[in-house]
Amino acid sequence: MNIFWLAESEYPKPDKQKPTLPISIWGQYVLDNFATVKEAVEALKTEPFTLITATVPGEKRLATVHLSLSDASGDSAIIEYINGKLAIHHDRQYQVMTNSPIFENNWP
């Protein structure tokens, strides 16, 4: 699991019907709850929670990140929130992620 800065991230507005999860523990949540990338992707597709963020200490901007996952089988995924919408790129070919820009802009 890796988390990188993604200035373009925009998370959905909190929904009173769903629990919230701080982005600071998003990666740990995935590590604690899923044994494979496939399991994590299937669960995260259902958007069981709304990610929340806070301002970067000493600044006025929000902390914004995206998440990459890989497992022992070689499976991998990159998970981002762009314009408040979940974007999941799931395939063995998704091996590299950087900070900004969004993943789709980096893929031929």
CA 102 centroid distance within chain: 11
Closest CA to 64 of 72, 52, 74: 52
H or E element in which residue 30 lies: helix 26-33
Q: Where does the pLDDT of residue 29 fall: very low under 50, low under 70, confident under 90, or very high at 90 and above?
A: very high
What is the band of 108 on the pLDDT scale with cuts at 50, 70, 90?
very low
Structure-token match 């590590």, residue found: 31
The pLDDT tens digits for 47-78 are: 999 999 988 888 888 889 999 999 999 999 99
Sketch the domain layout of the chain as residue ranges: 2-98
**Quick one: what percent of the chain has pLDDT higher than 70?**
88
In this prediction, residue 28 carries a pLDDT of 97
Q: Residue 27: what pLDDT? A: 96
